[in-house]
Amino acid sequence: MIKEYIKRPLYLNRVRPFMNKDVIKALVGQRRVGKSYLLFQIIEELAALGFSKERIIYINKELHEFEAIKDYKDLLKHVKKAWKGKKKAAVLIDEIQDISEFEKALRDLQAQGRYDIYCTGSNADLLSGELATYLSGRYVEIEVCSLSYPEFLLFHKLADSDESLLSYIKYGGLPYLVNLDLNEAVVYDYLKGINNTILFKDVVRRYSIRNIAFLERLVEYTADNVGSLVSAKKISDFLKSQKTNISPNVVLNYLSCIVNAFLIYKVRRSEIGGKRIFEISEKYYFQDCGLRNAIWGYRPSDINKVLENMVYMHLRVMGYAITVGKIGAKEVDFVCEKRGERLYVQVAYIIPDKRAREREFGNLLAIKDNYPKIVTSMDRFIAGTEKGIQHMHIADFLKTSF
């Protein structure tokens, strides 16, 4: 279990308040974002709290030595055999969704009050659904994402520069990239393999998907349409034009499965100034821009889409609940809410002229409240604020903890 790693304080700080408490800590997120290494960091922190090696029970369902743990009965048997002492033991289970009816074992262990429990999982529907049913109010879910831009710089030992930002835009932030040469041939081959693992392990196998060819085309379609309004009917109509007949309901079901695997996120539209949530047409963003680029190809002409995706993910990592804002005929890229406060963000590649400036800033100026408003772009010379709206370079935005 001893492995080298770079600490990720953002997530450790979210776990620490619940350590050694009778609350199950569920670390959820897409495969290969670093959940396993966070468990190693938690083990180190537990040791500092006085947990001896014998009191730390580690189970990784991706390792052959734990293959015999197939269901909740096997899990309970393993844990109770591993520790018979009177002191509290820590139980850490990696990829717990691979254990049948795991929630029954967690309920049993949690009810005893003798175990400090941590688990990771790569399926949002399974974890949130089962844990909410069996352990309502007795677990906390912490979403883990690929590296933020500051983490990317730290992991790759890079200074903030135009070249570093371009590398992050092109290759994304999966932690293992630190072991690879950052060039397209190497990185995209690796990322395509990760995409295939996610699709086949967390979507096809989990949901017994039959039409694998359509699933792959749907992911490609989503990659091409990042940041665009998408509806199941629109996708279905497009497929019909390509001589493929798939109903809107099937499209929705497949999209839901992909979302549950944390490959993409669905962002709904909301009416600014009201409480209305629009039920049709939403936007989709990838958890990692590198994966998006590996699937669809990196094209400089797509830079606006990729920047918008990066900004969305940064805001999500910062803990915001996010919708796409609508005010009359105008659209605001992101309406962000956290602890009763609100933030509005507009994303552009560059703002070359007065007309573009009026469009990007005008959408925010139409909002008649006093919450912070930001336009972020890659313009080299940024004037600071305009009529109370802050203009930030994309690199500065991605380095800011909001």
Residue 294 has pLDDT above 80, yes or no: yes
Residue 134 shares a structural domain with residue 178? no
Q: Look at residues 93, 112, 143 and tell me which one is the last residue of a structural domain.
A: 143
Residue 192 shares a structural domain with residue 119? no
Only one residue has tokens 């994309």, namely 394
Residue 117 shares a structural domain with residue 164? no
Residue 168 has pLDDT above 60, yes or no: yes
User: What digits encode the pLDDT tens for the residues 325-366?
Assistant: 999 889 999 999 999 999 999 999 999 888 888 889 999 999
- The residue range of the domain holding 263 is 149-398
Residue 289 shares a structural domain with residue 206? yes
Identify whether 2 is part of a domain: no
Residue 30 shares a structural domain with residue 51? yes
Can you give the pLDDT at residue 1?
52
Residue 220 shares a structural domain with residue 200? yes
Residue 163 shares a structural domain with residue 129? no
Total domains, the chain? 2
Q: Which pLDDT band, with edges at 50, 70 and 90, does 123 fall under?
A: confident
Planar angle of CA 191, 197, 202, nearest 5 degrees = 130
Residue 244 shares a structural domain with residue 379? yes
Structure tokens at 303: 């830079």
Count of positions (residues) in the chain: 402
Q: Which pLDDT band, with edges at 50, 70 and 90, does 3 fall under?
A: low
User: The domain spanning residue 106 has which CATH number?
Assistant: 3.40.50.300
Residue 219 has pLDDT above 70, yes or no: yes
Can you give the pLDDT at residue 93?
97
User: What digits encode the pLDDT tens for the residues 25-76?
Assistant: 999 999 999 999 999 999 999 999 999 999 999 999 989 999 999 999 999 9
Structure tokens at 225: 């349409």
Average pLDDT along the chain: 93
Can you give the pLDDT at residue 125?
77
Identify whether 195 is part of a domain: yes
Of the listed ranges 17-21, 52-56, 129-133, 263-267, the one predicted with least confidence: 129-133
Identify whether 4 is part of a domain: no
Residue 97 shares a structural domain with residue 165? no
The answer to whether 143 touches 21, Cβ cutoff 8 Å, is no
Q: What distances in angstroms separate CA 86 from CA 23, 110, 114, one per listed residue? A: 19, 15, 8
* Most confident region among 57-66, 120-129, 239-248, 382-391 by mean pLDDT: 57-66
Identify whether 173 is part of a domain: yes
The answer to whether 150 touches 399, Cβ cutoff 8 Å, is yes
Q: How far apart are CA 220 and CA 178, in angstroms?
A: 26
H or E segment and range at residue 246: none
Q: Look at residues 143, 170, 200 and tell me which one is the last residue of a structural domain.
A: 143
